[in-house]
Structure 1
């Protein structure tokens, strides 16, 4: 005897039996309807949460587009890319590094830059790492 049968006096309802209405479990239609209501409510809550997150992200989203040949400043991760950086105290280093020229657009949100030949990092960067060089 299963613990469910010992507690309730009948076998646990099977979703297959409930779906085909072949169950001898009391109130099987009620159980099936309750499961469907719970699933519908969870889907609605998930959609509502996704919409809230999208609204929050869209508020802070900045569209950035660069033309080929345009100059941009580059922001590097301090713990990863060190070939373009100068030595010294980390907090006193500049946040963005010298203007580089955009060579081509790679995909929807990435750009290839014309880096120095001695740099040992990949030359394709996400738009969040780039800032338009104004006044040059």
Structure 2
């Protein structure tokens, strides 16, 4: 007996054998008719499930279009355990940037102006890898002048304390 039959006490049903244990087994042309009906029922149920899932997905789907000159963030592909941009695992950034779009390659692909440290990365990305950047002047931190000593060292200055505690 099959493992399923040993575990559950009945044979499993397939489109070719849709009968319960103890029922009359069809032979010859009758099995073709029964199997055809069962396949039609299965197809209609699958079609109904696909339509239901598609209608739910279409409610949340949006068409994203960017123009040349827009600024976007670039999504990093989630490679588990891969060290990227100085952080590893959960602490690695999800998006980097912002980068400017310099060309629309196709309806769903855009070419970005990447910095020299990303020169080994291909500069064309799918629209799903991009997120629109709304410019905000408070996001830009102006560079501070750095005074280098004669022995090629510099003095670090504290900008702000974010958190502290006593132990």
Shift of 1:130: 0.9
Higher relative contact order, structure no. (Cα contacts within 8 Å, ≥ 6 residues apart):
1
More helix by share: 1
SS in 1 for 2:99: strand
Shift of 1:92: 4.5
Contact 1:75–1:97 (8 Å) recurs in 2:
yes
Shift of 1:46: 1.7
Paired residue for 2:103?
104
Q: Which has the larger radius of gyration?
A: 2
Deviations 1:6-29 (A, max 9, x none): xxxxxxxxxxxxxxxxxxxx9744
Shift of 1:88: 4.1
SS in 2 for 1:42: helix
Confirm or deny that 1:39 pairs with 2:39. Answer: yes
Mapped to 1, the partners of 2:72 and 2:27 lie a distance apart of: 68
Mapped to 2, the partners of 1:88 and 1:81 lie a distance apart of: 6
For structure 2, the 5+ residue unaligned runs are: 1-25, 137-167
Paired residue for 2:129?
129
CA RMSD of aligned residues (A): 2.7
Contact 1:102–1:113 (8 Å) recurs in 2:
yes
Q: Which of 41-50 and 101-110 deviates more?
A: 101-110
Q: Could you tell me the TM-score, scaled by structure 2's length?
A: 0.53
Change (3 A) 1:31 1:124: same
Confirm or deny that 1:113 pairs with 2:112. Answer: yes
More strand by share: 1
Change (3 A) 1:27 1:96: closer
Mapped to 1, the partners of 2:83 and 2:68 lie a distance apart of: 24
Question: Which residues of 2 match residues 55-74 of structure 1 at below 5 A?
Answer: 55-74=55-74
Matched positions, count: 108
